[in-house]
Structure 1
Amino acid sequence: MVLLYLFLIFVTYILYHTWWKRRGLPPGPTPLPLFGNALEVSKYPCTEEALKAWQKIYGDVFTFWTGDRAIVAVCDYEKIVHYFVKNGELFQDRPDDSNYTKYVGRGDHGVVHLNGDYWKNQRRFVLHALRDFGLGKDLMEQRVIEECEDLFVKIQKTLSKSSSDVDLPNFIDVAIGSIINNLLFGYRYTEDKLYEFDDLKQRVKQYVTASGQPAALIYRSNPQFYEKLPYFKDKLHRMRKQAIHLVDFFKVRILEHVEDLKNEDMATFTPTDIVACYLKEKRNREVDGEDAYFTDQQLVGLSFDLWVAGQETTANTLGWAFAFMIHNQDAQKKVQEELDAVIGSDRVITTADRPQLPYLQAVCNESQRLANLVPTNVFHATSDDVEVDGYILKKGTAITPLLCAVLSDEKYFPEPRKFKPERFLDNDGKPKKVDENIPFSIGKRQCLGEGLARMEIFLVLANILNRYKVLPGAELPSLERTRGFTVGPKPYKCKLQPRHV
């Protein structure tokens, strides 16, 4: 009798996971209990290949599982616009990720994981802060140009010592890290601070890479449970260690600001970085009795989100861009011919030059498309019961506009694996808007830092390609896709040949 009961329990458990819980959802690969579809994902070289394979089998709207959580993937651009733009208020939430965020020490704070009025309030603050610190004005551009000039000094110093290959992605890493750190905390990564950046960068890389592994698809929904299992224990502890170190770093930087500002008159104080701006807003709201949205914990989470997203994504995009330039010397030659015709010297290129550099603009756009940096996107959640492609999804169902499917869709980008900047130019060689190129996502959750990232990508690419011909090193950069929440290129070195001697 006991064996019969155990058998019935087992059969019920299997039926629940393979049939009952999937009722009402779009079709998709059958999940395993506890594991979801992670084992199937692990059979592919990277997660996006699994997702695109499922799209071919199940269509433009399908369901896959991360552990016990269903994720509805929307792959078609027009459907993405219909749901996430035209009906964006129904798809603007984030799924409950509190088990994970608490486990890694940051809690439900920041801007990425928030919902409702809390999210709207923090989003508004970030957009205003970016505007106040010069986004769209000369001030922010000068910060980026300052890092470009410092980067040239480092490159020239390296070239003067040796004719060996240059680790260009590492130089760019530091430059982009310095920009976001200066924006957040008010200081750059000068020589005496490089040890700090190197430590942070390695921890961010390990954390982000771990977050995109098949194992993460299993344990993210309930890490407290999975850490009890031997296979997951070490993986979770390593990832948590890196995340907590990052959180502690941001806490220290914030406490330094609090100490520096404790005697300031906030009514007349003019902040010069985002953390100081936040602390001023927090204190002013406390005086007015409206401090609910502005807390110390929230500032830590916000710093985490902005630093990691602001450094990792832009630096990796530029790493891919120069790898594409090395592999596509004809495209690089066209960029440099355009630069010679318009600029004609090694002067600093600014955003004011952008309208006269259409081919370079096309290279920036194609680099972002082909880099396909965040292939799965950050998951959304339905904010109410809603119909999607004929299926009724309950409030809180996780759903994602699948960027990797759109950016590699042959309907919009013929020969999608090829680097072809011309797809962003019209017949007259002028910039052509391609709505389907959505590397920053789309709708109400579109990347907050898009304006800054586009500026950084343009200025760094323009100024390096104007000063140097970028050639293969001992080996061509690998264009192989790797696993990770963000997909960066494998490490590579290159030769830099000065163009204005």
Structure 2
Amino acid sequence: MVLADKQRAASPIPWPILGNLPEIGANPPGYDTYLKWRQEYGPIFTYWLGEKPTVAIAEYSLMNETIVKDGDSYADRDFFNEWLYLIRGPDGLATMGGETWKEHRKFFMQVMRNLGVGRNVLEEKIEAEFTAVCANIDRMVESGDGEDVDIGPEFDVCVGSMINSLLFGYSFNGARSDEFTHLRAILNDYMTLVGKPSSQFLMTFPHLVKDLPYFSGIFKTFKLFIAKTYKFFDQQIEKHKSMAQKEVHEESTHMDYVSAFMQEMKLRDGQDCFDMPTLYSHLLDFWIAGQETTTNTLNWGVIHLLYNPDVQTKLHAELDSVIQTNRFIHLADRPRLPYATAVVNEIQRIANVLPQNLARCNTKDVVVNGHFLPKGTSIMPLMSCVLYDEKIFPESRKFKPERFLTADEKSKRVCVGESLAKTEIFLILINLFHQYKLSMPIQAPPPSMQQNFGLSVVPLPYKCQIKRRTFQQ
């Protein structure tokens, strides 16, 4: 059955109060449900998150015409805003809208450039973190006497150190590793709870159910996670305040995001949402978004290459031919590594770690594919549908890096949407497979392909065999 009116796009029949959440939750992580709705109702349809209608845009051409080419009309966010305010306070970058979002995004991008993002400085940081990862892997391999190895935690520390160095100015190597283990455990518990249907219901209707007996316990658990995370932020910010008091020159080059934000907060006298509560929300957004999506993609990359050893063999052949030695591979090498680039693109496509993107809210009345959407409509660009679109990616559930190559296998095909080859993922994954050969575990069960429900698609823990590759001198 279909619901439709003059304004709203066609919709599957929602359940009372629950909306279409049961259908999404019954088939995690939700891709197949969204694709089914797109086939039945077209590239734009309405589905209900509880009692809230959300208009989905599930086709690349429509996303390009709306979100990309007319971005200002869809710049506001509408993603569990009430819920996030209850558990953490003011909006972070992920949920800000309007001129405030533009101002903070501009500031964030400038600080990231100053810290080396987009330049060789970032590559040097990644190389340092990757070197530490290799040292840990080598110790595990040497001490394990052929036993299966769990490299997931190594990805966690590597990515976490990169995030922490940008935010607070230091990594988690050496004596600080326990500090990361504690913080990561908190975030793991938080994301596990987010993925549960009961939590999704609470996040959708916080004003109705947060004080009810069952849901009040979940709500208190969420608040506890945030309090523990903010305690870590408290410690770092207090250190920065102490350091700032010792600075002789106020306008020095900022070494991390917190220093830069605190300086900007002082210059603006706390105006334009440059204040402490907003800083805490920013830090939480950066940690959750940066850590989860990157580490999940890295782990899915390893799992898919374990199941496709022929791809790993071809990847090794290209790396041996082009790089030849065991040196660190840089972004400058990427134009000469079309197959490696295609492998990373395909990993990010098939991993598809975000079943739903962050919902947007149109800032003015718009017409999309013949449907009138009044100002303030909740709009969900479903990039997950595009990444599994059979018209764009035939046999979309199969791992085929060649789909990102032209016929001569020398030129990388441009992917739809944003570039899939993010700096960290390319450098970490390709250097990992340059230094090591990974294969299926001997004693542990094969890695599971189960995709767990949540804001980001998480693979189950897995193990594999790892062997150092040798290079001719």
The TM-score with structure 2 as length reference comes to 0.93
The answer to whether the aligner puts 1:471 opposite 2:439 as a matched pair is yes
Q: Which whole-Å deviations, capped at 9, do the CAs of 1:96-155 have from their partners, x for residues lacking one?
A: 744212221x22232111011110111001111111111222111110000000001111
Which of 230, 246, 253 pairs up with 2:229? 246
Pairwise CA distance, 1:91: 1.1
Pairwise CA distance, 1:58: 1.7
Partner of 1:396: 376
SS of the equivalent of 1:366 reads: helix
Give the gaps of 5 or more residues in structure 1. 1-17, 441-452
In structure 2, the CA distance between the partners of 1:190 and 1:384, relative to structure 1 (3 Å rule), is same
The answer to whether the aligner puts 1:282 opposite 2:250 as a matched pair is no
RMSD: 2.2
Aligned-partner Cα distance in 1 for 2:2–2:120: 58
SS of the equivalent of 1:417 reads: coil
Aligned-partner Cα distance in 1 for 2:47–2:196: 15
Aligned-partner Cα distance in 2 for 1:131–1:172: 24
Partner of 1:5: none
Aligned-partner Cα distance in 2 for 1:252–1:57: 52
Which of 32, 40, 55 pairs up with 2:23? 40
Q: How does 1:201-350 map to 2 (within 5 A)?
A: 201-286=184-269, 291-350=271-330
Q: Which whole-Å deviations, capped at 9, do the CAs of 1:140-186 have from their partners, x for residues lacking one?
A: 11100000000011111111111211111111111110111011101
Which of 105, 110, 129 pairs up with 1:123? 105
* 8 Å Cα contact 1:41-1:214 kept in structure 2: no
Partner of 1:449: none
The answer to whether the aligner puts 1:480 opposite 2:450 as a matched pair is yes
Pairwise CA distance, 1:264: 2.0
Pairwise CA distance, 1:20: 10
Partner of 1:13: none
The answer to whether the aligner puts 1:108 opposite 2:78 as a matched pair is no
Which of 400, 404, 411 pairs up with 1:420? 400
Instruction: Provide the aligned length of Structure 1 versus Structure 2.
Output: 468
SS of the equivalent of 1:110 reads: coil
SS of the equivalent of 2:76 reads: coil
Aligned-partner Cα distance in 1 for 2:2–2:353: 34
Pairwise CA distance, 1:249: 2.1
Aligned-partner Cα distance in 2 for 1:202–1:50: 31
Aligned-partner Cα distance in 2 for 1:429–1:40: 41
* 8 Å Cα contact 1:75-1:405 kept in structure 2: yes
SS of the equivalent of 1:262 reads: helix
The answer to whether the aligner puts 1:154 opposite 2:136 as a matched pair is yes
Aligned-partner Cα distance in 1 for 2:456–2:158: 19
* 8 Å Cα contact 1:327-1:476 kept in structure 2: no
In structure 2, the CA distance between the partners of 1:439 and 1:99, relative to structure 1 (3 Å rule), is farther
Which of 485, 495, 498 pairs up with 2:465? 495
The answer to whether the aligner puts 1:89 opposite 2:72 as a matched pair is yes
Aligned-partner Cα distance in 2 for 1:475–1:439: 34
Aligned-partner Cα distance in 2 for 1:359–1:251: 45
Aligned-partner Cα distance in 2 for 1:197–1:439: 30
Partner of 1:76: 59
Aligned-partner Cα distance in 1 for 2:317–2:2: 60
SS of the equivalent of 2:230 reads: helix
SS of the equivalent of 1:64 reads: strand
Partner of 1:60: 43
SS of the equivalent of 1:220 reads: helix
Aligned-partner Cα distance in 2 for 1:229–1:325: 46
More moved, 140-149 vs 32-41:
32-41
SS of the equivalent of 2:204 reads: coil
Pairwise CA distance, 1:439: 7.5
In structure 2, the CA distance between the partners of 1:212 and 1:60, relative to structure 1 (3 Å rule), is farther
Aligned-partner Cα distance in 1 for 2:309–2:412: 23
Aligned-partner Cα distance in 2 for 1:284–1:258: 15
Partner of 2:360: 380
Pairwise CA distance, 1:266: 4.9
Partner letter of residue 460 of structure 1? I
* 8 Å Cα contact 1:403-1:439 kept in structure 2: no
Counting aligned pairs with the same residue, the percent is 35
